[in-house]
Amino acid sequence: MLDKRGCGILLHPSSLPGSGGIGTLGSDARRYIDLLHAMGMSYWQVLPLTPPACGNSPYSAFTAFGGNPLLIDLERIIHEGDLSPDRRADNYPEKYVDFAAVTEQKMALLYQAASQFLNRINSSRFNEFCDFCESTPWLHNYALFMALKRRYHGNSWNLWPGDAARPTTDMRRKLSLELETEIAIQKYLQWQFARQWQELRSYANQRNISVIGDIPIFVAYDSADVWGNRDNYLLDENGKSTFVAGVPPDYFSATGQLWGNPLYDWRALKRSGYQWWIDRFSATFKLFDLVRVDHFRGFEAAWHIPADGQTAQTGEWVPGAGEELFDALSAALGPLAVIAEDLGVITQEVLALRDRYNFPGMKILQFAFDHDPANLPHNHVRHGVVYTGTHDNNTTQGWYLAASDDVRAEMHAYLGCDGDDGAGNLVRAALMSVANTVIIPLQDILKLGSEARMNVPGTPFGNWEWRFTWDMIPEGLATYVLSQVKRYDRVSYGENGYAQRSFDSRG
């Protein structure tokens, strides 16, 4: 894949329009896919679909394997009879996600639906899902973890009583019996997410759109992954991290970024043949057609910060599993459809690891005109993926308006343009690139400003909330974008060619 010219849009499902306070996998998602098809797009890129933990970030999740229940379409559940129509809640803002309100109200409705289903039906499809997932331990491990988290009022697992925080095999069996109902509810939520997502992905594939997912290299400390597999991480005898992850001072922060994630004990993972990673990639490729691997350079060497460090400046680079890990993954899963997020402090060793497996890397046009000329279009390569910006950047229009006069002048001179259409000019530059693949945030297609930014790295609150509304899609947008994508030979024809590429912005 990614061996011919194509274009895609970056948008997380939570940013989709619709009732219920957050984007879902329902009818608005299908309408969005219809919009992508009408634009001539080949790809829809999303952020991690896992259930967010700290700060509502999809990059900090309660599990690296499961799906976010908040994305479940309640209308589908109502249609199936697990929830009555009068249980809809629609007193939410349209243009951002109020995570506290949505989580409280929607999870209550999902619990009602799960209880109704489990009391009413003995579903072979649900049982098959549970049995299939039991071939790897993630589902029951996660369900038990979430059941215990509910029992202990949402506290992090290291604050639970010892027999729950560090259960023996016998204690796991005992807890599983005690929490049987809650565990079944958690499995129901994962089943609903999985079936709704696979149907939506199939809808996209039928329209010749491939879905690009995202694997964060690290997991959250307060997660089923760390709780259930403590030996895989650098923890002390009390279960506390000895070192945590981050990056040194960079474009985003003068003091670096202190992420706080636990770091892997690669020697322990090697003794298991990297089975946890094989299971993780296998589960992820069941959800997506391709996968962007976040912070790819961490597999070659990761920035280890002492757990008591106040900033990321005190860390050091420590080698990762590198080739051994990717050789094990390739042996188990075959060629890997991976995009390597190779941004930040990149060494020749990182590039060699990326190129050994023929993974395309990334270029960010916003970086090109002020600090990293490697991102300029004349330095692009065919086997690469070009972005105007990512979820961590300002929107391109917001970036342009905030840029210095010198940066704007350099951009105008390089691109041969003038005026204040920063987003439009950078989108055209991306489409013209020699790189086979271009991914553009929807905010940049709509030329939105900083108010539509998704995330500000290093800030704990107020992120991941942005949503678009259908009245933001002007009439004729799909036709215009299609003409641009067609001009630069990036249209995915599919079986229907251009004839079916129409979209009514009025719905």
For residue 504, what pLDDT is reported?
A: 67
- Is residue 319 one of the residues assigned to a domain? yes
| Averaged pLDDT, 484-504 | 72
| Averaged pLDDT, 78-99 | 87
Give the pLDDT band (50/70/90) at residue 501: low
Burial class (CB in 10 A: 0-12, 13-18, 19+), 323: middle
Say whether 392 is catalytic: yes
Give the pLDDT band (50/70/90) at residue 499: very low
Give the pLDDT band (50/70/90) at residue 498: very low
**Active-site residue among 341, 342, 444, 465?**
341
- Is residue 429 one of the residues assigned to a domain? no
In whole angstroms, what is the distance from residue 220 CA to residue 262 CA?
Answer: 7
For residue 464, what pLDDT is reported?
A: 97
Q: Which two tokens stand for residue 260?
A: 């706080």
- Is residue 475 one of the residues assigned to a domain? no
Say whether 86 is catalytic: no
End-to-end Cα spacing for the chain: 32
497, pLDDT greater than 90? no
For residue 134, what pLDDT is reported?
A: 64
- Is residue 150 one of the residues assigned to a domain? no
Contact status, residue 359 vs residue 416, Cβ threshold 8 Å: no
- Is residue 431 one of the residues assigned to a domain? no
| Residue 466 β-bridge partners | 96
440, pLDDT greater than 80? yes
For residue 502, what pLDDT is reported?
A: 63
| Averaged pLDDT, 313-333 | 96
- Is residue 246 one of the residues assigned to a domain? yes
What's the chain's average pLDDT? 93
Count of beta carbons in the 10 Å neighbourhood of residue 357? 15
Looking at the 3D structure of the chain, how many domains does it have? 1
In tens, the pLDDT along 112-137 reads: 999 999 988 767 778 878 876 666 67
In tens, the pLDDT along 337-380 reads: 999 999 988 999 999 999 999 999 999 999 999 878 999 999 99
**Active-site residue among 294, 300, 342, 465?**
294
**Active-site residue among 75, 222, 225, 392?**
392
Give the structural domain span for 311: 229-271+289-360
Nearest in space to 143 (alpha carbons), one of 201, 78, 193: 193
- Is residue 258 one of the residues assigned to a domain? yes
188, pLDDT greater than 50? yes
For residue 255, what pLDDT is reported?
A: 87
Contact status, residue 208 vs residue 37, Cβ threshold 8 Å: yes
For residue 345, what pLDDT is reported?
A: 81
In tens, the pLDDT along 192-215 reads: 999 999 999 999 999 999 999 999
Which pTM was predicted? 0.95
For residue 493, what pLDDT is reported?
A: 65
HEC states along 271-327? HCCCHHHHHHHHHHHCCCCEEEECCHHHHCEEEEEECCCCCHHHCEEEECCHHHHHH
In tens, the pLDDT along 125-171 reads: 788 788 766 666 799 999 999 999 999 999 999 999 999 999 999 99
Say whether 294 is catalytic: yes
Give the pLDDT band (50/70/90) at residue 262: very high
